[in-house]
Every structure is written in C-alpha cells, then in structure tokens.
Amino acid sequence: MKDKLKVIDLFSGCGGFSFGFENAGYHIVLGVDNDKTSLETFKANHKNSKTLLADLHNDNAIDDIVNEVKEHKIDVIIAGPPCQGFSLTGARNEGDDRNKLFYSVFKLAEKIKPRAIIIENVPGLATLYNGFAKDAILKEFERLNYSNNFKVLFAPDYEVPQIRKRIFFVGLNSDLGKFEFPKEILKPENYNTTSIAISDLPTLENELGEEQSIYDKPAKTEYQKKLRNGSKILFNHVASKHTELVINVISQVPDGGNHKDLPKGVGESRTFNEAWTRYNSKKPSKTIDTGHRNHFHYKFNRIPTVRENARLQSFPDNFVFVGTRTQQNRQVGNAVPPLLGFHVAEKLSTYLNKKS
C-alpha cells in the first residue's frame, strides 16, 4: 500500500466513491460517516481501510480524523456532503445545517494539506440560494491555494446505466495545474441500458429470493460480465412482497411508462411525476433514489431488488450491502456510482503521478 496514492473519504456512506478510487489503484486509508450501518458495509468491502463514526457538524471530528491518519501522507480528500438541502426533490431550506457541511472538507484540508480535493453533489448546489454553496466552495479552494474546476457529469457517459447528473468540484495543489475532466466514454447510442445491466439476474417471479443465492443463467452482456467480476454467489437479490392490488396496477404500466399510461380510475392514489414508473429496458434507468418505492422493473411486476439497483449504480456483484432492506436501499441510493468515481480517479492520477 505504501506506493499507492492515499485517500480519505468523507461522508463516505457505504463507499461507492472510494470503491471507484480503489479500483483505479488508490489506497483508501479512512472512510468517515455518521451512519453506523453504512460504515459496516464500507468496512466489509474495503478490506484494507479503517472507518470512523463521526459527525462532521462537530469540529472535534476533524481532530479525530487527523489522529486516525497521522501515520500517512494523504494525497486526496474525496467527499459527498449530504445533498438534501440542494436537491430539487423534497423540501429545501436555505438554513439547513447540512448545506454548510462542505466547510468541514476544507477544515480538514487545512490541517493535512492533501494534493487534491474532490467534492461531489447534486447539480442544484450550483444554483440554489443564489449559488451560495458553489461560490463558497470556490472561495475556499482559492483561500487554501488550490486551482479549481467544476463540471456536471452525466453518469451514462461514463458507462453507468442510470440517468444521474452530479456536479464535481476538483481542487489541485497550484503546482499541479488545473484539473481537466475525463472525456465521455460512451455516446448516447451506446449507453448501457437497464436490460443490458440486469437482464441476467434471477427473475424472482415465483419466489422472493434470499440474501445469498446463485446465478441461474450466464451473463449476457459485457457490462454483466464486468459486474459479476468472478462472483459465484449473488448477494442482496431479494424481492419485496406486494399486494395483489399493487401487482395489478404495475402490470398495466408498459415498459418505460408511468401513471399517465394507466387506464382511468387505476392507480390514482399516486399521480405525482415519478409515480408507477417502469424502468425503460432500452434506456438507462431513472435516477436511483433512497426510497425505491415508485420505480419498477422493466419487465416484472415488482420494485427492483437492492442488487438490481446496485447494478444500475455500477456496484459489482461482490460488493455486499449489510443492514435492513431499507438501510441497504438507502446506501445504494446515496452512493456515488463506482464507475463514475473510477473515471474521475483515473484522470486525477495523471496529475498526481506526474513526474516533476
């Protein structure tokens, strides 16, 4: 590990962002989060990393982190601060304490002086509240003498079979130049689709499944082969039990359709934008959220399993989620897609490994 670039993952959740960095050859020294179950998942999938349960609202947490990594020279801080205050879905509150949690990234950077800092969030961060957070982040980069650049990345461009936009801010030590984002990997006509991602998984038409099971058919696509990653056991592929009424409503929604495609008088208890939405088999999935109650499998009359949504987030099948089903779904929905993290990490390494 001593020759690898070293990373701290703040607001790590289950570790999707850092898993992408690990696959790009970095050593994740520490994952920090305030959710115990998410850190248990992080630890189960980052065998060479430590974890720290900490609330970054509290400045004492910064000293605890410094103490945890004192034996290492940290090269990179990556962070995905909670985004509820900036999200276009749900209530927004300018005074929400979570809106200023990004300051903890710079408080830590001031003490350990990494060569690079990456902050990820929802695109709304750049414009809401008159751009308060975006301007503050750029000001902090300048204050600490980091060059900076930011861009909204579209996950399908980077192999992820999911319609997901996220803004990335990248700061580099001024002697490293200004970060240029990685070029898109796929063009729209070649995007990985929902069926490309999950069509090989057991259908669960006649059973709910178990937390550990086996594949019942071979991988059909390059993406499926990539995410199986040599796995023999299939984890977290368990269906939810629906009432006959719910199954009947879902069955009337076509591939890629939603509540607007239902006959009059059917499913009218839910008529908001995302209600009764089936994934489209020929397109990337809708954005994976933390609830998973309004989106349905493109073919089967049920919500997707944790594993199916993890595939759509680009987690490999040997990445195991722990906790209750609700906790697992939240971990998947909150994560940075590992493949998106991987491509950013690969590009970053060209700057950090540059010979002087």
Using alpha carbons, select from 16, 145, 151, 161 the residue that is nearest to residue 79.
Answer: 16
In the chain, ranges of CATH 3.90.120.10 domains: 190-334
The tally of CA atoms less than 13 A away on the side-chain side of residue 80 is: 23
> Binning pLDDT at 50, 70 and 90, where does residue 268 land?
confident
180, two tokens: 């240029």
User: With respect to CATH, is domain 6-186+337-352 assigned 3.40.920.10?
Assistant: no
pLDDT of residue 355: 62
Range 269-279 average pLDDT = 85
User: What single letter denotes the amino acid at residue 223?
Assistant: Y
Fold for the domain defined by 190-334: DNA Methylase; Chain A, domain 2 (3.90.120)
> Binning pLDDT at 50, 70 and 90, where does residue 97 land?
low
Which residue of the set 14, 83, 118, 128 is catalytic?
Answer: 83
Q: List pLDDT tens digits, range 18-52.
A: 999 999 999 999 999 999 999 999 999 999 999 99
The answer to whether residue 78 scores a pLDDT higher than 80 is yes
pLDDT of residue 94: 47
pLDDT of residue 83: 58
Range 58-85 average pLDDT = 91
pLDDT of residue 3: 87
Question: Are 29 and 21 a contacting pair, CB within 8 Å?
Answer: no
Q: Quick one: DSSP state of residue 110?
A: H
In the chain, ranges of CATH 3.40.50.150 domains: 6-186+337-352
Q: Is 14 designated active site?
A: no
Range 209-230 average pLDDT = 95
Compute the distance between CA of residue 270 and CA of residue 346 in angstroms, rounded to an integer: 43
What is the reported pTM?
Answer: 0.93
Range 42-66 average pLDDT = 96
